[in-house]
Amino acid sequence: MKKQEVKNFYEILKNTYPDATCSLDFKTPFQIVVAVMLSAQCTDERVNKTTPLLFERCKTIQDFADIDIKELEDIIHPCGFYKNKAKNIKLCAKQVLKNFDGVVPQNMEDLLTLAGVGRKSANVILLEAFGIANGIAVDTHAKRISNRIGLSSQSDPEKIEQDLLKIFPKEYLKDINHLFVWHGRNTCDSRKPKCEQCTVKQFCKYYK
């Protein structure tokens, strides 16, 4: 895409999805850490039905560190992969308490030292908890749309992110992942994309 096309693509998506924001419910930085962990291989809708009980039970990071693993597994069971997620949540809470004085770190390098936090999750945490947009969280929607539009031919999320960072100016980064998620959910479906309804089909290699 040329510079003007990138601008047009971005602005069309912004106009199509003016309310595009993070779909996960949270109030504190550590709550978004937990919500992002739970969202792996799970819908945000399911996560948001599970977290009210969890966040009521665990009001502090110390509570997450101290909760009995079986109780935690029972609460998050609906989100799938609950044993691994419970283990990571507890270990992550202990790491934040021990290594960062109970404060969720605000940089990629430190976030990646936490159990259950990869680059995609760290990008989400930085953006949603702290308003820091230095990268793009490449989830299944961002990956699918990037490949279909022709923004990246890569399959590895980190390589796709690097391609996207070369295309989109820094001022677009805080919105672009939300726009990809909403476009993926509403229009660019994995099985049955609604190509005729798509507002950015003129840019799309898949459509052409």
pLDDT digits (tens, 9 = 90+) for 9-39: 999 999 999 999 999 999 999 999 999 999 9
pLDDT band at 208 (very low <50, low <70, confident <90, very high): confident
Would you say 123 and 177 are in contact if contact means Cβ atoms under 8 Å apart? Answer: yes
Among candidate residues 14, 83, 94, 139, the one labeled active-site is: 139
pLDDT at residue 120 greater than cutoff 90: yes
pLDDT in tens, 178-197: 999 999 999 999 999 999 99
pLDDT in tens, 67-102: 999 999 999 999 999 999 999 999 999 999 999 999
Mean pLDDT, the chain, integer: 96
| Residue type (1 letter), 110 | D
Among candidate residues 85, 90, 120, 143, the one labeled active-site is: 120
Q: Is 174 a catalytic residue?
A: no
Domains observed in the chain: 3-21+135-203 (1.10.1670.10), 29-130 (1.10.340.30)
pLDDT in tens, 135-183: 999 999 999 999 999 999 999 999 999 999 999 999 999 999 999 999 9
pTM: 0.92
135 vs 20: CA distance, rounded Å: 18
Q: Is 120 a catalytic residue?
A: yes
Question: Residues 92-115: what's their mean pLDDT?
Answer: 98
17 vs 133: CA distance, rounded Å: 19
183 vs 199: CA distance, rounded Å: 10
Residue-level pLDDT at 78: 97
pLDDT band at 121 (very low <50, low <70, confident <90, very high): very high
